[in-house]
Amino acid sequence: EVDRGRVARRNAWAVMPLTATFDAVADPPSVAIQSAAIEGRENDVLRLNVTELKLSDKDGSEALSLALRTTDDELSAVLINDDGATYLHLTNSYASSSSSSARLFPVPMGNVSDIAVAATANFAGTLAFSLVATSTEATNGDAANVTLPVRATWLGIAQKPGVALGAAEVTTRED
């Protein structure tokens, strides 16, 4: 009905088919370490103390992965478990994470609470690296990362001096 140029309002509804597409989006994983600064003595293996690593999404559509990212060549290996049997030697091979000098090393998803790092032999100093947890959607590959920066310090220790004597007996004059 039209009344003085206005339309009378009435309650009405209609059912229409609607197609909607929802793309899967990865949720950032939950990851934590006990401390972002770890310290030990030269030639020690330093434990990262991962206290939490899990998917936030509970529907089973995502996969979890872990990697270590570094620009330091002095970082040489990642220990995966306490028995020392599983090492990831970082100097052997790596995948470039970008055009920068950063290197990204995938870490096997074993007992992540036992992850530890080692520097090259006799290294003393501080190295910076990141622990990167990634959640990836299976359907479309969408990924979400959480990056935890870590500073590892190896304190130098005095090396035993080397002394070599040419003769077992030395003879000299009194004055």
10-43 tens-digit pLDDT: 677 778 888 998 889 999 999 999 999 999 999 9
What is the rounded distance in angstroms from the CA atom of residue 156 to the CA atom of residue 16? 74
Q: Which whole number is the average pLDDT over 61-88?
A: 76
What is the rounded distance in angstroms from the CA atom of residue 124 to the CA atom of residue 107? 24
Q: Is it the case that residue 4 has pLDDT exceeding 80?
A: no
Q: Is it the case that residue 166 has pLDDT exceeding 80?
A: no
Task: Please classify residue 81 by burial: count the beta carbons closer than 10 Å to its beta carbon, then call 0-12 exposed, 13-18 middle and 19+ buried.
Answer: middle
What letter does residue 8 receive in the DSSP assignment? Answer: P
For 104-142, how does the pLDDT look when each residue is reduced to its tens digit (9 = 90+)? 888 878 777 778 888 888 999 999 999 999 999 999 999
State the pLDDT at residue 71: 84
pTM over 0.85: no
What is the rounded distance in angstroms from the CA atom of residue 168 to the CA atom of residue 154? 39
